[in-house]
């Protein structure tokens, strides 16, 4: 157990605070998981990867972590979807839960210790609602039960707003239900409508409202009080505000989550991802183009609380010009007048940020591959030698950044110098003793395993990953790899005959395909330019 403090930003206090857990050495964390009504999008991916890295880091630091991430499988959106698909809501939920699990596995997200779902917690939910009614914090109307927001003094403390301001601002936007005492009162229990999933309750047949499940499931699995609660920024209000009202209303003001962590949004072309804007991308659309780890790495290059911009490039199929945002929307190229339909444009989208992440990952894995090959071919020296300075300090610097509110961006930056140092040693090793060279590389490889355990990146077999990456990039670019191999063989023959002119001509031809060659002592290999 490392005594150095871990600091994290808490939304409720609005400040960075040292992590002090309820029980020393133990952390209970609740993560608001998905509502399973559709395929996960990249925003969902981020909301899962962020707590995953937090949990991994806390464990690496010696904490015993109990990680709970729920699945919301009863909800208006699921019911709507089930009507669209003409299938029972439970089937819809089960299907998208399975898809979610597949995406999470692809993205190397550690499964939670407990993954509760609403359907399995109806009794706990009813009990919680009943206790709120008993305390005067909720009231039943016609089979519905509403939370009496004005009866909870702290309402608004998380999202930093006041009830009166909200009513004023929202008056024109919320359809006021006359049966509610206040427009802000929210449903804890909804009376059954025909065709909807329903359970018996003291207020008649019905189902839980949106927020109550997280209050019930967190206390069931982590207790009335626990350490960390995470979710996307948009959940601050109303979801988490309402959770606080429910849980503290039922269990006391000094209960519930001690730290609230919220991850920032992913934006496309500078604006929030949204279906209506057509800038909505599922996780799978991305992982069809790039290795899943590339997406994961890309999401970790920025601090979790910041917004993250996904730049999009689409070239006009007609003239190759980059299309601007409005051209992307209309599909009409201003330069040549070519019109392209939306589906076609989506297939042609390129993500410069992901390209860069992909290249960077290839550099890291390439380094790892070379370092391991070197170590496998050499014998370990006996005795001790001072290691390369950057490599020796790498893990400590990395961890230091992580301790400061899980700053993955800064932590990743701490790998650069060591990476350069290691590649330098691999290249020549000049000016460094043989033993120091070996031991530095050994240390690097070993510490990168720690880094990989924390980030969930850099942990695959380098050769396998590099191959996957190359295949996907070839597919993405429409590269004929057989032709490349053939040209490469021709060039090798030319070089052996010292026919430099022919060799250079073939190299130009390969360059036109987007491929560069690297000549080394063991022959030539190709890579993307």
Partner RNA sequence: GGCGGCAUAGCCAAGAGGCUAAGGCGACGGUCUGCAAAACCGUUAUCCCCGGUUCGAGUCCGGGUGCCGCCUCCA
CB-facing half-sphere around the CA of 496: CA atoms within 13 A: 9
Which C-beta is closer to RNA: that of 235 or that of 286?
Answer: 235
Alpha-carbon distance of 421 to 434, in angstroms, equals: 15
Which C-beta is closer to RNA: that of 333 or that of 366?
Answer: 366
The interface with RNA within residues 255-284 (CB under 7 A) comprises 263-267, 270-274
Nearest distance in Å: CB 526, RNA: 9
Nearest distance in Å: CB 160, RNA: 4
Count CB-CB contacts under 10 A for residue 163: 15
Which C-beta is closer to RNA: that of 47 or that of 513?
Answer: 47
Q: Of 458, 455, 466, 469, nearest to 110 (Cα)? A: 455
Tell me if 63 sits within 8 A of 26, measured CB to CB: yes
Which C-beta is closer to RNA: that of 1 or that of 501?
Answer: 501
Residue 392 near RNA by CB under 7 A: no
Nearest distance in Å: CB 401, RNA: 6
Which C-beta is closer to RNA: that of 173 or that of 380?
Answer: 173
Nearest distance in Å: CB 252, RNA: 26
Residue 517 near RNA by CB under 7 A: yes
Which C-beta is closer to RNA: that of 304 or that of 340?
Answer: 304
The interface with RNA within residues 328-357 (CB under 7 A) comprises 353, 356
Which residues, in sequence order, are CB contacts of 324 under 8 Å at separation 6+? Answer: 334
Q: In this structure, what is the dihedral angle of CA atoms 29, 32, 38, 39, given to the nearest 10 degrees?
A: -40
Question: Could you give the string, one character per residue 430-469, with x where binding to RNA holds by CB under 7 A and - elsewhere?
Answer: ----------------------------------------
Which C-beta is closer to RNA: that of 426 or that of 452?
Answer: 426
Which residues, in sequence order, are CB contacts of 504 under 8 Å at separation 6+? Answer: none
The interface with RNA within residues 201-220 (CB under 7 A) comprises 210
Residue 159 near RNA by CB under 7 A: yes
Which C-beta is closer to RNA: that of 119 or that of 407?
Answer: 407
From 98, 105, 174, 475, residue interacting with RNA (rule: CB under 7 A): 174
Residue 51 near RNA by CB under 7 A: no
Alpha-carbon distance of 158 to 172, in angstroms, equals: 24
# chain residues binding RNA, by CB under 7 A: 85
Residue 131 near RNA by CB under 7 A: no
Tell me if 33 sits within 8 A of 430, measured CB to CB: no
Nearest distance in Å: CB 339, RNA: 27
Would you say the C-alpha torsion 443, 448, 453, 454 has a positive or negative sign?
A: positive
Q: Of 302, 222, 309, nearest to 26 (Cα)? A: 222
Q: Which range binds RNA by CB under 7 A, 38-46, 95-103, 248-256, 471-479?
A: 38-46
SS3 content of the chain, % helix, strand, coil (to 5): 50, 15, 35
Question: Could you give the string, one character per residue 83-122, with x where binding to RNA holds by CB under 7 A and - elsewhere?
Answer: ----------------------------------------
Looking up tokens 């207790």 gives: 223
Alpha-carbon distance of 473 to 478, in angstroms, equals: 8
Q: In this structure, what is the dihedral angle of CA atoms 375, 381, 385, 388, given to the nearest 10 degrees?
A: -10
Under DSSP, is residue 12 helix (H, G, I), strand (E, B) or coil?
A: coil
CB-facing half-sphere around the CA of 246: CA atoms within 13 A: 33
Q: Which range binds RNA by CB under 7 A, 53-61, 85-93, 145-153, 415-423?
A: 415-423
The interface with RNA within residues 283-312 (CB under 7 A) comprises 301-303, 306-309
């Amino acid at each position: 157990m490392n005594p150095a403090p871990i600091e994290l930003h808490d939304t409720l206090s609005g400040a960075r605070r040292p992590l002090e857990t309820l029980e020393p050495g133990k952390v209970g964390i609740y993560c608001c998981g998905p509502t399973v009504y559709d395929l996960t999008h990249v925003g969902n991916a981020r909301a899962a990867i962020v707590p995953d890295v937090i949990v991994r880091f806390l464990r690496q630091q010696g904490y015993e972590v109990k990680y709970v991430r729920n699945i919301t499988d009863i909800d208006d959106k699921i019911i709507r979807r089930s009507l669209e698909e003409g299938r029972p809501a439970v089937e819809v939920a089960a299907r998208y839960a399975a898809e979610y699990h597949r995406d999470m596995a692809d993205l190397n997200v550690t499964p939670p210790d407990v993954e509760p779902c609403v359907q399995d917690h109806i009794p706990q939910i009813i009990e919680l609602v009943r206790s709120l009614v008993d305390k005067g914090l909720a009231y039943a109307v016609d089979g519905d039960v509403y939370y009496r927001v004005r009866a909870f003094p702290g309402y608004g403390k998380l999202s930093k707003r006041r009830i009166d301001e909200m009513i004023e601002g929202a008056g024109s936007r919320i359809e006021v239900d006359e049966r509610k005492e206040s427009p802000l009162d929210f449903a804890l229990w909804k009376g059954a409508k025909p065709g909807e999933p329903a359970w018996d309750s003291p207020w008649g047949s019905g189902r839980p409202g949106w927020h109550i499940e997280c209050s019930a499931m967190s206390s069931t699995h982590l207790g009335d009080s626990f350490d960390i609660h995470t979710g996307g920024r948009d959940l601050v209000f109303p979801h988490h505000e309402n959770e606080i009202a429910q849980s503290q209303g039922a269990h006391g003001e000094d209960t519930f989550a001690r730290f609230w962590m919220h991850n920032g949004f992913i934006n496309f072309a500078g604006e929030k991802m949204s279906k209506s804007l057509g800038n909505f991308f599922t996780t799978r659309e991305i992982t069809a183009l790039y290795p899943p780890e590339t997406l994961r790495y890309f999401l970790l290059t920025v601090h979790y609380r910041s917004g993250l911009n996904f730049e999009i490039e689409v070239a006009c199929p007609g003239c190759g010009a980059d299309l601007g945002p409005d051209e992307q929307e209309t599909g009409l190229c201003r330069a040549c007048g070519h019109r392209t339909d939306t589906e076609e444009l989506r297939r042609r989208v390129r993500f410069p940020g992901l390209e860069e992440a992909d290249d960077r990952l290839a550099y890291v894995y390439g380094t790892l591959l070379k370092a391991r090959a070197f170590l496998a071919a050499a014998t370990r020296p006996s005795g001790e030698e001072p290691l390369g300075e950057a490599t020796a300090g790498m893990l400590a610097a990395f961890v230091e950044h992580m301790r400061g509110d899980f700053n993955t961006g800064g932590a990743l930056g701490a790998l650069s110098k060591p990476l350069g140092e290691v590649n330098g040693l691999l290249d020549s090793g000049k000016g460094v003793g043989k033993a120091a060279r070996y031991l530095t590389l050994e240390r690097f490889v070993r510490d990168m395993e720690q880094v990989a355990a924390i980030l969930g990146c850099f942990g695959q077999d380098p050769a396998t990953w590099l191959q996957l990456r190359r295949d996907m990039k070839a597919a993405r670019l429409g590269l004929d790899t057989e032709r490349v191999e053939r040209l490469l063989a021709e060039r090798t023959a030319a070089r052996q005959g010292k026919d430099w002119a022919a060799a250079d001509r073939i190299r130009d031809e390969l360059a036109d395909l987007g491929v560069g060659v690297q000549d080394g002592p063991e022959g030539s290999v190709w890579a993307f330019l």
